[in-house]
Amino acid sequence: MADILYFNGRFTTTDERVLGVEDRGFQFGDAIYDVIKFLERRPVLLADHYRRMERALRELEIRSPWTESEFERVVQQLLERTVAADGIVYVQISRGEAPRAHFWPESISPTVVAYSRVFVFPDAAKKERGIRVITVPDERWKRCDIKSVNLLGNAFAKKRAQRAGADEAILMADGFVREAASSNFFAIKNGGIVTHPLDPHVLPGVVRDRVIGLALRARIRVDERPLREAELFDLDEAFITSTTQGVMPVAEIDGRVIGNSRRGTITEALQVTFDEVERSSPQAEPMRAQ
């Protein structure tokens, strides 16, 4: 079934082939993207996603196609046309289309696509059971703080996880944990949380930021530092965060069970409070600046 598609100022469906072959997103990976969750056709944490997209566009010198209120309006119009109650909106902004050359013309206009799609979020059983992960080398480029469409390293890591019967891959570099292929990674030891600091090695996850805020509010210690590989196998609990997975317990890393093999109490508490944030205040202001 075709999905509703917003393309450069008009609405159509994903049945229409809208992109030119010389779009720089297609030829150079010269584009950024974002994934926004919606529940009962209300976007969740939209302002956080907008802020992250704007930063990525600035960093890559791609002209922003919209103000925040114009962006909100596009998402609202897209969701008004969407049949599914719950799902995701995928937004991609490329630098635009021009005859193929590494240099881009200064006058280029961005190509903007956004479409909504039904998505089945993890159910209660999965959220309790958690996921299996494997460790793989981080083979991505050096600006992982920008949500660009250069996802080959992530896609290979994820494929390796799938072939190993796991759900997610943790990306390792120089003996340290960075993040996961499509989520941020959190470790829990002796009642405190450890997660990688915000720097060019990790994506500033919207859920990561919220969960740190919730943990601090619950007086849980949060240490933003790279976790050593050796620490990975001596944890009490671990979880990943992302827009589609929320707070998801990690049950096993490289076949080794984490903690006592059940969802840990801190993970569960954060999962419950984050789910409430998503449901109750989708447009709330962020608790921490990114």
Type and span of the H or E element at 172: strand 168-173
Q: How far apart are CA 242 and CA 193, in angstroms?
A: 17
Active site residue 142: no
HEC assignment per residue over 55-105: HHHHHCCCCCCCCHHHHHHHHHHHHHCCCCCCEEEEEEEECCECCCCCCCC
Mark residue 97 as left, alpha or beta (left: phi above 0; alpha: psi -120 to 50; beta: remaining). beta
Closest CA to 206 of 39, 42, 48: 48
For ligand PLP, the binding residues in 254-283 under the rule CB under 6 A are: none
Q: Which residue, 74 or 88, is less far from ligand PLP as judged by CB? A: 88
Q: Which residue, 82 or 243, is less far from ligand PLP as judged by CB? A: 243
Give the Å distances, CA to CA, from 87 to 38, 82, 84, 205.
5, 10, 7, 18
Does 207 help bind ligand PLP (rule: CB under 6 A)? yes
Q: Which residue, 94 or 182, is less far from ligand PLP as judged by CB? A: 182
Q: How far apart are CA 235 and CA 174, in angstroms?
A: 20
Does 148 help bind ligand PLP (rule: CB under 6 A)? no
Tell me, residue by residue from 30 to 49, as one string, x for binding to ligand PLP by CB under 6 A and - for no binding. -----x--------------
Q: How far apart are CA 203 and CA 199, in angstroms?
A: 8
Q: Which of 111, 148, 182, 271 binds ligand PLP (CB under 6 A)?
A: 182
Tell me, residue by residue from 95 to 134, as one string, x for binding to ligand PLP by CB under 6 A and - for no binding. ----------------------------------------
Q: Which of 37, 127, 147, 158 is an active site residue?
A: 147
Coil/strand/helix, residue 255 = coil
Q: Which residue, 184 or 267, is less far from ligand PLP as judged by CB? A: 184
Q: Which of 167, 179, 237, 278 binds ligand PLP (CB under 6 A)?
A: 179
Burial annotation 188-215 (CB, 10 A radius, 16+ → b, else e): bbeeebbbbebeebbbbbbbbbbbbbbb
Q: Which of 148, 241, 267, 271 binds ligand PLP (CB under 6 A)?
A: 241
Minimum separation from the CB atom of position 178 to ligand PLP (A): 9
Q: Which residue, 96 or 248, is less far from ligand PLP as judged by CB? A: 248
Q: Which of 25, 110, 130, 205 binds ligand PLP (CB under 6 A)?
A: 205
Does 168 help bind ligand PLP (rule: CB under 6 A)? no
* 113, 5 contact by CB (below 8 A): yes
Q: Which of 183, 195, 267, 271 binds ligand PLP (CB under 6 A)?
A: 183
Q: How far apart are CA 233 and CA 153, in angstroms?
A: 24
Catalytic residues: 147
Residues binding ligand PLP (CB under 6 A):
35, 154, 179, 182-184, 203, 205-208, 241-243
